[in-house]
């Protein structure tokens, strides 16, 4: 994996994490860095869910971003549910 690929993953992670943060109300843990991590992990989770339950991966950049948003929203709901139960 080259530096360009890593930078691309970070940018897509930021986009996906930012959009998911707008969809799910509340603060994203970790601020900007947290949004990037949630976005990248969301893309991995969304891709796995999509492939496992629908039998194929997303096609193209837009498909990958949409699947990543779904995964990131799931992660944010879980994080916020866990943070809400601690208070």
- The per-residue pLDDT for range 29-74, each reduced to its tens digit, is 788 888 888 888 988 888 888 888 888 767 788 888 888 899 999 9
Beta-carbon contacts of residue 69 (< 8 Å; ≥ 6 apart): 16, 19, 20, 23, 42, 46
CB atoms within 10 A of CB 15: 17
Per DSSP, the residues of 61-75 read: HHHHHHHHHHHHHHH
* Structure confidence at residue 75 (pLDDT): 93
pTM greater than 0.85 (yes/no): no
* Structure confidence at residue 1 (pLDDT): 62
């Amino acid at each position: 994996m080259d530096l360009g690929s890593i930078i691309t993953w970070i940018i897509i992670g930021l986009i996906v994490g930012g959009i998911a943060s707008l969809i799910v109300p509340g603060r994203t843990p970790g601020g900007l860095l947290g949004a990037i991590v949630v976005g990248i992990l969301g893309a991995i989770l969304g891709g796995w869910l999509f492939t496992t339950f629908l039998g194929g991966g997303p096609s193209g950049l837009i498909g990958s971003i949409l699947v990543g948003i779904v995964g990131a929203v799931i992660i944010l709901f879980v994080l916020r549910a866990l943070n809400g139960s601690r208070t």
